[in-house]
Amino acid sequence: MGGGVVYAALQHKNEGSEAMDHGLKGQVAVVTGSTSGIGLGLAEALAQQGVSVVLNGLGDRDEIEAVRAGMSARNGVEVLYHDADMTQPHRIADLVGSTRNAFGRLDILVNNAGIQHVAPVDEFPTEQWDRIIAINLTSAFHATKAAIPPMKAAGRGRIVNIASAHGLVASPFKSAYVAAKHGVIGFTKSAALEVAQQGVTCNAICPGYVKTPLVEAQIADQAKARGISEEEVMKTVILAAQPTKQFVTVDQLAGLLLYLVSDAGASVNGAALSVDGGWTAA
Ligand code: NAD
């Protein structure tokens, strides 16, 4: 399982300091793609707030179980794992349905699972296009479709879609990812309009580059696609896009997530919120 560094940092933070209370204790969250990277960090941040979490994602079963048990013990909340493959609509529906069966409620849905493939359009493998659209875009539809009825019935709910700066602007060689992330933002707006009067919000967070396994893999792929060294990719491609010249951290994304899902975030709806060090301001 990837994301070890991110996870270790959050674990350390949890041991060393009291997290600010966002009034979420007792709530229940599903975070898709939370066995690694950003999703894992967001799940830990929710658990730190006393939220029971359902983890999801790929990876080694023993490692996932260790993460699940650790997150539960550290934060004193129930943490479950569901192995839904985000390319399978019926498994996504079961992820949400099982959560409701286990806890009797669903307060927060974070659609985070995502993959990347870097290649020019004319060489882009069709199966990779289909897979990226399924995991990065269509899975958010299936999960949201299943989550909205119980949220509407409860008169409160929070749906947060992890889009990307690439939901707002493009880069070459990432056609499927950019198309999917633009789609996520459009979907977010439509869903938000539909549920606005029922106490449910739907927003998108648009991170710039965060150093997770997904980005580490891209450094190698970009080097190949552009015919330059990995060091050059870091300097001229990855951090070139970010005016701060620094990676966004998972902690910074967690801060925005906790705001959006708290009562303070009730009037933020249908928004695509950039956390990208100024990338999309240019
Ligand atoms: P990551 O590779 O570390 O984690 C991706 C997660 O999705 C993992 O838990 C993985 O198991 C899961 N996943 C992949 N395919 C799946 C499938 N078929 N079914 C279920 N789970 C699946 O990546 P990350 O960087 O943490 O990315 C998380 C999200 O953030 C993605 O949507 C990504 O597009 C977005 N994002 C990342 C960055 C970045 O710089 N890392 C920037 C902007 C947006």
pLDDT at 12 exceeding the cut of 50 = no
pLDDT of residue 213: 85
pLDDT at 217: 86
Counting ligand 1 atoms within 8 A of each CB, the residue from 30, 35, 36 with the most, and so the one to mutate, is 36
Scanning the structure block, which residue is given the tokens 């979490």? Answer: 53
pLDDT tens sequence across 168-195: 999 999 999 999 999 999 999 999 999 9
Does the active-site annotation cover 177? yes
Q: Is the pLDDT of residue 119 over 70?
A: yes
Q: Are 112 and 164 in contact (CB under 8 A)?
A: no
Q: Where are the beta strands (DSSP E) in the chain?
A: 28-31, 52-56, 79-82, 108-111, 157-162, 200-207, 272-275
Residue spans of alpha helices (H) in 227-279: 230-232, 250-261
Cβ(256)–Cβ(160) below 8 Å: no
Q: Output the average pLDDT for the chain.
A: 93
> Model confidence over 38-89: pLDDT tens digits?
999 999 999 999 999 999 999 999 999 999 999 999 999 999 999 999 999 9
Q: Give the number of other CB atoms < 10 A from CB of residue 94.
A: 16
The first and second tokens of residue 99, run together, are: 């959560």
Pocket of ligand 1 (CB under 6 A): 2-3, 33-39, 56-59, 85-87, 112-115, 135-136, 162, 164, 207, 209-210, 212-215
Is the distance from CB of 113 to CB of 33 less than 8 angstroms? yes
- The model carries a pTM of 0.94
DSSP, res 22:
-
Q: Give me the pLDDT at residue 18, please.
A: 66
How many C-alpha atoms does 271 have within 13 Å on its Cβ side?
14
pLDDT, residue 234, reads 83
Largest interatomic CA distance in the chain = 54
**pLDDT of residue 236 exceeding 60:** yes
Question: What is the 197 CA–ligand 1 centroid distance (Å)?
Answer: 31
Backbone phi, psi, residue 130, to 5°: -60, -40
Over residues 252-277, the mean pLDDT reads 98
* Residue appearing with tokens 């209370």: 21
* pLDDT recorded at residue 9: 46
In this structure, the number of other CB atoms found within 10 A of the CB of residue 162 comes to 26
Q: Which tops the pLDDT comparison, 71 or 231? A: 71
What token pair was written down for 266?
Answer: 């009730």
Helix, strand or coil for residue 13?
Answer: helix
- pLDDT tens for 211-227 read 898 888 888 888 998 99
Per-residue model confidence (pLDDT) at position 17: 54
Residues whose CB falls within 8 Å of the CB of residue 183, separated by 6 or more in sequence, listed in order = 133, 137
